[in-house]
Amino acid sequence: MDDPGRKLKLFRERLGLRYRDVEHASRQIASWHGSDEFAIPLARLADIENRGTVPSIHRIYTLCAIYRLDPFEVCRWYGVDFSRLPADAARLPTPKTHPIQFDIEEHGEIQVPLLLDPGLDIRKTTFLSRMIQRWGILPVMLVSGLDPKHHRYGFIGLEDWSMYPLIQPGALVLIDDTQKKIETGGWTSEWERPIYFFEHRDGFLCGWCSLEDDRLTVIPHPASDYSPRVFLYPQEIEVIGQVVGVATRLDLGRKRRTRSSADRAGF
């Protein structure tokens, strides 16, 4: 039953309420709040249930109070999903630094990994989406922009300093697997240059890259002391996607051991 008016009618009938009961209750709510906007006349209730009339925000409040419904769920019936609010806001450019005023109450749902492959080695960079054995549902509003249906996840190994300081070891990276085309220019700084997540026969890599004919070079950050690696493309290496987000801690510090030339070449 996709019609929100019919859903509201079903809840009213389940409670054994007549139109006049709802009208009377709505006028009580309007009186308590000192505003007639909360009141629902008989004709308007009939239009909401039978003619697809969209109730105002005040009347949604009233109906939810009378029927004991979650207002965020009722708004979803009408196509307004508040769990998407932070993600939509994040896509809109705002020039000034500002606090985010969203309440951190949990009104949305997001899929999160509940069970990881026991063979996961956190020392190595890993394509995390392939290591997740079971997903679960978590109602957490502020991370609803991370959509596992359209993105993949990678874990940067605890011993992988190849993109430091842009990406620290232990970081969780968000991968857009629809962006596999290797860009050859157009950026003005290292922050704008696309970072890619790769799979090759020995594991995974995360880094910048360049492509000349059939030679793909995976390029580490110059501050990392790692050496570039060259692969035949696409025979020896696959582009999983472009890194579009990073979640990392800032209090780990630079715990870097002395590395030999052979170690640095092993990125």
Tell which of 36, 59, 80 closes a domain. 80
**Contact between residue 199 and residue 154 where contact means Cβ atoms under 8 Å apart:** no
pTM of the model: 0.52
Residue 258 has pLDDT above 50, yes or no: no
What mean pLDDT do residues 218-246 have? 93
Residue 246 has pLDDT above 60, yes or no: yes
104 assigned to some structural domain: no
- Give 58-72 pLDDT, tens digit per residue: 999 999 999 999 999
Tell which of 80, 100, 134 closes a domain. 80
Residue spans of beta strands (DSSP E) within 74-191 = 110-116, 132-138, 152-155, 172-176
Most distant CA pair in the chain, distance: 83
- Shared-domain flag, residues 124 and 244: yes
Q: Give percent above pLDDT 90 in the chain.
A: 49
- Shared-domain flag, residues 67 and 143: no
Lowest mean pLDDT among 103-107, 123-127, 147-151, 155-159: 103-107
- Give 166-225 pLDDT, tens digit per residue: 998 888 888 888 899 999 888 999 989 999 999 998 888 999 999 999 999 999 999 988
Is 136 in a helix, a strand, or coil? strand
- Give the amino acid at 21: D
Query: How many CA atoms does the CB half-sphere of 47 hold within 13 Å?
Result: 10
Please name the helix (run of DSSP H) or strand (run of DSSP E) that holds residue 241, with its range, or none: strand 237-247
Please name the helix (run of DSSP H) or strand (run of DSSP E) that holds residue 134, with its range, or none: strand 132-138
- Give 85-132 pLDDT, tens digit per residue: 877 876 776 666 466 666 545 555 555 554 455 666 666 666 655 555
At 11, which CATH number? 1.10.260
What range does the domain containing 237 cover?
110-264
- Shared-domain flag, residues 71 and 115: no
